[in-house]
Amino acid sequence: MTSTQHTTTRGTVLVVNSGSSSIKYQLVDPVGGEAIASGLVERIGEDVGTIKHTYAGSTTQRDEPIADHGAGLRLVLGLFDEIGPELASAHIVAVGHRVVHGGSDFAGPALVDDDVVRRIDALSPLAPLHNPPNLTGIQVARELLPDVPHVVVFDTAFFHTLPDAAATYAIDQGVATAYGVRRYGFHGTSHQFVSGEVARFLGRRVEDLNQIVLHLGNGASASAVRGGVAVETSMGLTPLEGLVMGTRSGDLDPAVLIHLQRNAGMSVDEIDDLLNRRSGLKGLAGENDFREIHRLVEEGDASARRALDVYIHRLRKYVGAYLAVLGRVDVITFTAGVGENDDIVRALALAGLEPLGIAVDAERNAGRKKQPVVISPDWTPTKVLVLPTNEELAIARQAVATIEAAGLEGTSEETDPAPAAAGHA
311 near ligand ADP (CB under 6 A): no
Any known ligand binding at 17?
yes
Nearer to ligand ADP among residue 167 and residue 315 (C-beta): 315
How close are the terminal C-alpha atoms of the chain, in Å? 6
The two beta strands, 23-28 and 35-42, are: antiparallel
Q: What is the CA radius of gyration of the chain?
A: 21
246 near ligand ADP (CB under 6 A): yes
Among 70, 84, 132, 217, binds ligand ADP (CB under 6 A): 217
Any known ligand binding at 134?
no
- In whole angstroms, how close is the CB of 344 to ligand ADP at the nearest point? 8
Q: How many residues bind ligand ADP (CB under 6 A)?
A: 14
Confirm if 141 and 95 have CB atoms less than 8 A apart.
yes
Nearer to ligand ADP among residue 182 and residue 215 (C-beta): 215
d(CA 404, CA 9): 9
Any known ligand binding at 288?
no
- In whole angstroms, how close is the CB of 217 to ligand ADP at the nearest point? 2
Any known ligand binding at 216?
yes
Nearest Cα to 331, choosing from 234, 155, 196, 425?
Answer: 196
Any known ligand binding at 363?
no
Any known ligand binding at 214?
no
Among 337, 346, 393, 425, binds ligand ADP (CB under 6 A): 337
- In whole angstroms, how close is the CB of 172 to ligand ADP at the nearest point? 34
Q: Catalytic residue at 155?
A: yes
29 near ligand ADP (CB under 6 A): no
Residue 190 pairs in a beta bridge with none
3 near ligand ADP (CB under 6 A): no
- In whole angstroms, how close is the CB of 194 to ligand ADP at the nearest point? 12
19 near ligand ADP (CB under 6 A): no
Per-residue x/- track, 368-397, ligand ADP (CB under 6 A)? x-----------------------------
Among 154, 186, 290, 322, binds ligand ADP (CB under 6 A): 290
Per-residue x/- track, 341-360, ligand ADP (CB under 6 A)? xx------------------
Catalytic residue among 155, 273, 342, 416: 155
Any known ligand binding at 6?
no
Nearer to ligand ADP among residue 232 and residue 343 (C-beta): 343
Task: Please identify every residue annotated as catalytic.
Answer: 155
Binding-site residues for ATP, please?
24, 215-219, 289-291, 337-341
Interaction site with ligand ADP (CB under 6 A): 217-219, 246, 288-291, 336-338, 341-342, 368
